[in-house]
Amino acid sequence: MSQSKSFLNRTFAIFFIVVSVVFFYYMGYGIGSPLTSTLKPIAETSPLLVTLFFSITPLGLGFTIILFGLLKEVWKPSLDFTFNHNRKWLFASIILFMVAIVNNAWWWVVNGAQWISQYGFQSAFIEFFMGNFACDTTILSLMLGTLFLTNSDPKKSPSYKTILIGVVVWLIVFFISYLLMAVSSMAGVQAPVAERYKDFLGYDIFQPWYWTDIIYGIVTFIGSILLLRKNINVKKLILITVVGFIMFFLLVTLFLPKPQFR
């Protein structure tokens, strides 16, 4: 691989490593983090423990695998950034880029003016970057939106293969979590989750960020499965992830506050 191509590969990987690390930091330290309220006793002891809990448990393990794949790309570049003319992947990338644009533009429409007037532009930008841009929806939409446009192949690129495995693991947990919140909401159960997820059917499904989450999740999950199916046993990966998360969920619920009926 030429020096210029290695530089491009490493620059791409380092950029997404940085925003991924910010995402991990936000999960433990961010004011709007869905974990800091749920794991309040732990967060009060040390937000770092929340970040570690997120990164090494099934809850965020998928993103840790993605981060590991990016580190592999920095160490030994293997992505192929030549343009892929396949219309199927071009269409998927357009959807993902649109998700990233809508998701971030909506933050400025709803929160930007308020933050700027109260705290100044610098503070508003930091909050936007940490609480919205450097989160899973934008990170994975931009990352896979770019990679789907290239001739990168998980069969030839160990880092790409690792990233895609992490995406599948992350999104399985993502979908199961949303399903659990929806079921809890329909059952009238006030589960111990972050404030904005407490009224799932009455609030969440009417928010643009909910639909950008769902759209990016579906597109990246299907794309990752299609790319991985000839390289690994995808069914086994899905089964292990589902079983692992269910066992983790049943164990963790023993230590969480009891849910209340509305």
CA pair distance 18, 12, nearest whole angstrom: 10
Segment 89-118 shows an average pLDDT of 94
DSSP bridge pairs for 189: 261
With pLDDT > 70 as the criterion, what percentage of the chain qualifies? 92
pLDDT at position 140 is 98
Residues 28 and 47: beta-carbon distance below 8 Å: yes
Is the pLDDT assigned to residue 261 strictly greater than 60?
no
DSSP bridge pairs for 190: 260
Q: What is the pLDDT of residues 195-223, one digit of tens each?
A: 677 777 788 888 888 999 999 999 999 99
CA pair distance 112, 10, nearest whole angstrom: 32
pLDDT at position 250 is 87
CA triple 72-167-20, angle to 5 deg:
60
Is the pLDDT assigned to residue 190 strictly greater than 60?
yes
Residue 119 — pLDDT band, cuts 50, 70, 90?
A: confident
Give the range with max mean pLDDT: 25-29, 40-44, 96-100, 228-232. Answer: 96-100
pLDDT at position 33 is 85
The domain spans of the chain are: 3-261
pLDDT at position 23 is 96
pTM for this predicted structure: 0.93
pLDDT at position 215 is 97
Nearest partner of 25 among 47, 42, 45, judged by Cα: 47
Tokens read off for 186: 């329909």
pLDDT at position 194 is 66
